[in-house]
Amino acid sequence: MSTYVVGDLQGCLDPLQRLLDRVRFDPARDHVWFVGDLVNRGPDSLGVVRLIRSLGDRAIAVLGNHDLHLLVAAGGHARIHRGDTFQDVLAAPDRDELLDWLRRLPLFHVDGRWAMVHAGLLPSWTVEKAASLAREAEDLLRSERWDDFLRTMYGNRPDAWDDDLVGWDRARVIVNAMTRLRICSPEGVMEFHHKGELEDIPAGYVPWFDAPHVRGDRHTILFGHWSALGCRTGPGYISLDSGCLWGRALSAYRLEDGAVFQIDCPALAG
Protein backbone atom coordinates (compact mmCIF):
# COMPACT_ATOMS: atom_id res chain seq x y z
CA MET A 1 0.00 0.00 0.00
CA SER A 2 1.28 3.44 -0.94
CA THR A 3 0.11 7.01 -0.34
CA TYR A 4 0.85 9.61 -3.01
CA VAL A 5 0.51 13.36 -2.45
CA VAL A 6 -0.26 15.27 -5.65
CA GLY A 7 0.34 18.96 -6.35
CA ASP A 8 -2.08 21.58 -7.64
CA LEU A 9 -4.25 20.27 -10.51
CA GLN A 10 -6.36 23.29 -11.49
CA GLY A 11 -8.49 21.30 -13.88
CA CYS A 12 -5.65 19.40 -15.56
CA LEU A 13 -7.24 15.96 -15.85
CA ASP A 14 -4.98 14.38 -18.48
CA PRO A 15 -1.74 14.94 -16.52
CA LEU A 16 -3.43 13.54 -13.42
CA GLN A 17 -4.48 10.39 -15.25
CA ARG A 18 -0.99 9.98 -16.70
CA LEU A 19 0.57 10.49 -13.28
CA LEU A 20 -1.69 7.91 -11.65
CA ASP A 21 -0.79 5.49 -14.46
CA ARG A 22 2.89 6.28 -13.96
CA VAL A 23 2.80 5.28 -10.27
CA ARG A 24 0.48 2.34 -11.03
CA PHE A 25 -2.08 3.70 -8.60
CA ASP A 26 -4.42 0.94 -7.44
CA PRO A 27 -7.59 2.28 -5.73
CA ALA A 28 -8.08 -1.07 -4.05
CA ARG A 29 -4.72 -0.77 -2.32
CA ASP A 30 -3.31 2.77 -2.49
CA HIS A 31 -4.33 6.22 -1.27
CA VAL A 32 -3.87 9.59 -2.96
CA TRP A 33 -3.88 13.01 -1.32
CA PHE A 34 -4.37 16.33 -3.10
CA VAL A 35 -3.02 19.66 -1.81
CA GLY A 36 -5.97 21.67 -3.14
CA ASP A 37 -6.80 23.80 -6.16
CA LEU A 38 -8.49 20.90 -7.87
CA VAL A 39 -10.26 23.23 -10.28
CA ASN A 40 -9.97 26.31 -12.48
CA ARG A 41 -7.84 27.69 -15.30
CA GLY A 42 -7.19 24.24 -16.79
CA PRO A 43 -9.37 22.52 -19.40
CA ASP A 44 -11.35 19.94 -17.39
CA SER A 45 -12.32 20.95 -13.87
CA LEU A 46 -15.43 18.79 -14.14
CA GLY A 47 -13.43 15.69 -15.01
CA VAL A 48 -10.99 16.27 -12.14
CA VAL A 49 -13.75 16.69 -9.54
CA ARG A 50 -15.66 13.66 -10.77
CA LEU A 51 -12.54 11.50 -10.78
CA ILE A 52 -11.43 12.43 -7.27
CA ARG A 53 -14.95 12.12 -5.90
CA SER A 54 -15.25 8.67 -7.47
CA LEU A 55 -12.25 7.46 -5.44
CA GLY A 56 -14.23 7.78 -2.21
CA ASP A 57 -12.17 7.29 0.93
CA ARG A 58 -9.08 6.34 -1.11
CA ALA A 59 -8.63 10.07 -1.84
CA ILE A 60 -8.19 12.99 0.55
CA ALA A 61 -8.22 16.55 -0.79
CA VAL A 62 -7.97 19.86 1.05
CA LEU A 63 -9.60 23.02 -0.22
CA GLY A 64 -7.59 25.57 -2.17
CA ASN A 65 -8.37 29.17 -3.05
CA HIS A 66 -9.60 28.22 -6.55
CA ASP A 67 -11.94 25.58 -5.10
CA LEU A 68 -13.39 28.18 -2.75
CA HIS A 69 -13.70 30.66 -5.63
CA LEU A 70 -15.82 28.11 -7.48
CA LEU A 71 -18.11 27.80 -4.45
CA VAL A 72 -18.35 31.57 -4.04
CA ALA A 73 -19.12 32.07 -7.74
CA ALA A 74 -21.69 29.25 -7.69
CA GLY A 75 -23.46 31.05 -4.85
CA GLY A 76 -23.57 34.28 -6.85
CA HIS A 77 -21.27 36.12 -4.44
CA ALA A 78 -18.45 36.85 -6.91
CA ARG A 79 -18.22 37.43 -10.62
CA ILE A 80 -16.65 34.81 -12.87
CA HIS A 81 -13.29 36.11 -14.02
CA ARG A 82 -12.10 36.06 -17.61
CA GLY A 83 -9.60 33.29 -16.89
CA ASP A 84 -11.99 31.08 -14.92
CA THR A 85 -12.69 27.71 -16.52
CA PHE A 86 -14.92 25.98 -13.99
CA GLN A 87 -18.11 26.73 -15.92
CA ASP A 88 -18.23 23.04 -16.87
CA VAL A 89 -18.86 22.23 -13.20
CA LEU A 90 -21.56 24.90 -12.94
CA ALA A 91 -23.33 23.56 -16.04
CA ALA A 92 -23.08 19.88 -15.12
CA PRO A 93 -26.24 17.85 -14.45
CA ASP A 94 -24.66 16.68 -11.18
CA ARG A 95 -23.61 20.22 -10.24
CA ASP A 96 -25.37 20.25 -6.86
CA GLU A 97 -23.85 16.94 -5.77
CA LEU A 98 -20.36 18.03 -6.85
CA LEU A 99 -20.57 21.42 -5.13
CA ASP A 100 -21.90 19.81 -1.95
CA TRP A 101 -19.02 17.33 -2.00
CA LEU A 102 -16.54 20.16 -2.55
CA ARG A 103 -17.73 22.34 0.33
CA ARG A 104 -17.41 19.38 2.71
CA LEU A 105 -13.70 18.90 1.99
CA PRO A 106 -11.32 19.81 4.82
CA LEU A 107 -8.99 22.79 4.93
CA PHE A 108 -6.32 20.86 6.81
CA HIS A 109 -5.50 17.17 7.13
CA VAL A 110 -3.25 15.53 9.71
CA ASP A 111 -2.22 11.88 9.67
CA GLY A 112 0.59 10.81 11.97
CA ARG A 113 3.61 12.98 11.29
CA TRP A 114 2.15 14.38 8.07
CA ALA A 115 0.04 17.54 7.83
CA MET A 116 -1.45 18.82 4.56
CA VAL A 117 -2.71 22.31 3.75
CA HIS A 118 -3.12 24.18 0.48
CA ALA A 119 -1.11 27.30 1.27
CA GLY A 120 0.42 27.64 4.73
CA LEU A 121 0.20 28.11 8.47
CA LEU A 122 0.78 31.21 10.58
CA PRO A 123 3.82 31.42 12.88
CA SER A 124 1.79 31.34 16.10
CA TRP A 125 -0.03 28.13 15.14
CA THR A 126 1.09 24.70 16.14
CA VAL A 127 -0.19 21.89 13.97
CA GLU A 128 -2.61 20.97 16.73
CA LYS A 129 -3.95 24.52 16.94
CA ALA A 130 -4.21 24.76 13.15
CA ALA A 131 -6.25 21.55 13.08
CA SER A 132 -8.64 22.97 15.67
CA LEU A 133 -9.01 26.29 13.81
CA ALA A 134 -9.55 24.49 10.50
CA ARG A 135 -12.44 22.61 12.04
CA GLU A 136 -14.08 25.91 12.98
CA ALA A 137 -14.10 27.07 9.37
CA GLU A 138 -15.01 23.62 8.06
CA ASP A 139 -17.99 23.47 10.40
CA LEU A 140 -19.24 26.76 8.95
CA LEU A 141 -18.89 25.46 5.38
CA ARG A 142 -20.84 22.33 6.29
CA SER A 143 -23.54 24.12 8.27
CA GLU A 144 -26.76 25.89 7.28
CA ARG A 145 -24.72 29.13 7.43
CA TRP A 146 -22.40 28.06 4.64
CA ASP A 147 -23.82 30.53 2.11
CA ASP A 148 -23.41 33.44 4.54
CA PHE A 149 -19.86 32.31 5.17
CA LEU A 150 -19.03 32.31 1.46
CA ARG A 151 -20.65 35.71 1.01
CA THR A 152 -18.38 37.25 3.66
CA MET A 153 -15.23 35.21 3.04
CA TYR A 154 -13.36 37.48 0.62
CA GLY A 155 -11.10 40.20 1.98
CA ASN A 156 -7.53 40.80 3.18
CA ARG A 157 -8.44 42.06 6.65
CA PRO A 158 -7.68 41.14 9.33
CA ASP A 159 -4.23 40.25 8.05
CA ALA A 160 -2.91 38.57 11.20
CA TRP A 161 -4.10 36.09 13.77
CA ASP A 162 -5.43 37.15 17.16
CA ASP A 163 -6.95 34.67 19.60
CA ASP A 164 -9.62 37.27 20.39
CA LEU A 165 -10.97 37.36 16.83
CA VAL A 166 -14.61 36.33 16.50
CA GLY A 167 -17.23 35.78 13.81
CA TRP A 168 -16.50 36.19 10.13
CA ASP A 169 -13.19 37.98 10.81
CA ARG A 170 -11.91 34.93 12.66
CA ALA A 171 -13.01 32.56 9.91
CA ARG A 172 -11.55 34.81 7.20
CA VAL A 173 -8.08 34.78 8.75
CA ILE A 174 -8.17 30.99 9.05
CA VAL A 175 -9.21 30.56 5.42
CA ASN A 176 -6.78 33.17 4.10
CA ALA A 177 -3.83 31.57 5.85
CA MET A 178 -4.67 28.04 4.80
CA THR A 179 -5.60 28.82 1.18
CA ARG A 180 -3.75 32.02 0.19
CA LEU A 181 -0.63 32.48 2.32
CA ARG A 182 2.85 32.53 0.80
CA ILE A 183 4.76 35.12 2.80
CA CYS A 184 4.28 36.93 6.09
CA SER A 185 6.21 39.04 8.54
CA PRO A 186 8.12 37.15 11.24
CA GLU A 187 5.24 38.14 13.54
CA GLY A 188 2.64 36.66 11.19
CA VAL A 189 1.23 39.63 9.26
CA MET A 190 0.15 38.18 5.91
CA GLU A 191 1.03 39.61 2.48
CA PHE A 192 -1.08 38.36 -0.43
CA HIS A 193 0.48 39.88 -3.56
CA HIS A 194 3.85 38.17 -3.90
CA LYS A 195 3.79 35.06 -6.12
CA GLY A 196 7.38 35.02 -7.36
CA GLU A 197 10.75 33.63 -6.42
CA LEU A 198 12.18 33.44 -2.92
CA GLU A 199 14.90 35.96 -3.74
CA ASP A 200 12.28 38.55 -4.75
CA ILE A 201 10.31 38.56 -1.48
CA PRO A 202 9.67 42.14 -0.29
CA ALA A 203 11.71 43.45 2.62
CA GLY A 204 10.22 42.68 6.00
CA TYR A 205 8.61 39.40 4.91
CA VAL A 206 9.70 35.77 4.87
CA PRO A 207 8.23 32.58 3.43
CA TRP A 208 5.66 31.34 5.92
CA PHE A 209 7.68 28.16 6.45
CA ASP A 210 10.77 30.19 7.45
CA ALA A 211 8.97 32.27 10.06
CA PRO A 212 9.68 31.35 13.68
CA HIS A 213 7.36 28.41 13.82
CA VAL A 214 6.54 25.33 15.83
CA ARG A 215 5.91 23.42 12.60
CA GLY A 216 9.04 21.31 12.89
CA ASP A 217 8.11 19.47 16.07
CA ARG A 218 7.09 16.07 14.72
CA HIS A 219 5.18 17.03 11.58
CA THR A 220 6.14 17.56 7.99
CA ILE A 221 3.79 19.98 6.25
CA LEU A 222 2.76 19.19 2.67
CA PHE A 223 1.45 22.15 0.66
CA GLY A 224 0.97 23.64 -2.81
CA HIS A 225 -0.18 27.09 -3.99
CA TRP A 226 3.28 28.52 -4.74
CA SER A 227 4.27 27.34 -8.21
CA ALA A 228 7.46 29.43 -8.25
CA LEU A 229 8.83 27.16 -5.51
CA GLY A 230 8.31 24.02 -7.55
CA CYS A 231 8.60 20.63 -5.94
CA ARG A 232 11.06 21.03 -3.08
CA THR A 233 11.83 19.60 0.33
CA GLY A 234 12.93 21.75 3.25
CA PRO A 235 13.13 21.47 7.02
CA GLY A 236 9.66 20.43 8.11
CA TYR A 237 7.95 21.00 4.76
CA ILE A 238 7.45 19.67 1.23
CA SER A 239 6.05 21.94 -1.49
CA LEU A 240 4.28 20.21 -4.38
CA ASP A 241 2.98 22.86 -6.81
CA SER A 242 5.37 22.35 -9.71
CA GLY A 243 3.44 24.49 -12.19
CA CYS A 244 1.49 21.93 -14.20
CA LEU A 245 -0.84 24.64 -15.46
CA TRP A 246 2.13 26.68 -16.67
CA GLY A 247 3.67 23.93 -18.79
CA ARG A 248 6.09 22.54 -16.23
CA ALA A 249 5.18 19.36 -14.35
CA LEU A 250 2.63 17.65 -12.14
CA SER A 251 4.32 16.11 -9.11
CA ALA A 252 3.52 13.34 -6.65
CA TYR A 253 5.42 12.53 -3.45
CA ARG A 254 5.20 9.02 -1.99
CA LEU A 255 5.00 9.22 1.79
CA GLU A 256 6.45 5.79 2.49
CA ASP A 257 9.89 6.41 0.97
CA GLY A 258 10.05 10.03 -0.26
CA ALA A 259 10.09 9.08 -3.94
CA VAL A 260 9.04 11.88 -6.30
CA PHE A 261 7.22 11.23 -9.57
CA GLN A 262 6.60 13.87 -12.23
CA ILE A 263 4.71 14.15 -15.50
CA ASP A 264 5.47 16.84 -18.05
CA CYS A 265 2.54 19.15 -18.74
CA PRO A 266 1.57 21.31 -21.71
CA ALA A 267 1.20 25.02 -21.02
CA LEU A 268 -2.50 25.66 -20.51
CA ALA A 269 -2.58 29.21 -19.16
CA GLY A 270 -1.12 32.40 -20.52
250, 6 in Cβ contact below 8 A? yes
- Characterize the bridge pairing of strands 183-184 and 260-264: unpaired
The whole-angstrom separation of Cα 34 and Cα 240 is 10
Does 66 qualify as catalytic in the annotation?
Answer: yes
Catalytic residue among 66, 109, 213, 225: 66
The whole-angstrom separation of Cα 85 and Cα 247 is 17
The number of C-alpha atoms within 13 Å of 7 and in the hemisphere containing its C-beta is 31
Buried b (16+ CB within 10 A) or exposed e, 6-40: bbbbbbbbbbbeebbeebebeeeebbbbbbbbbbb
Catalytic center residues: 66
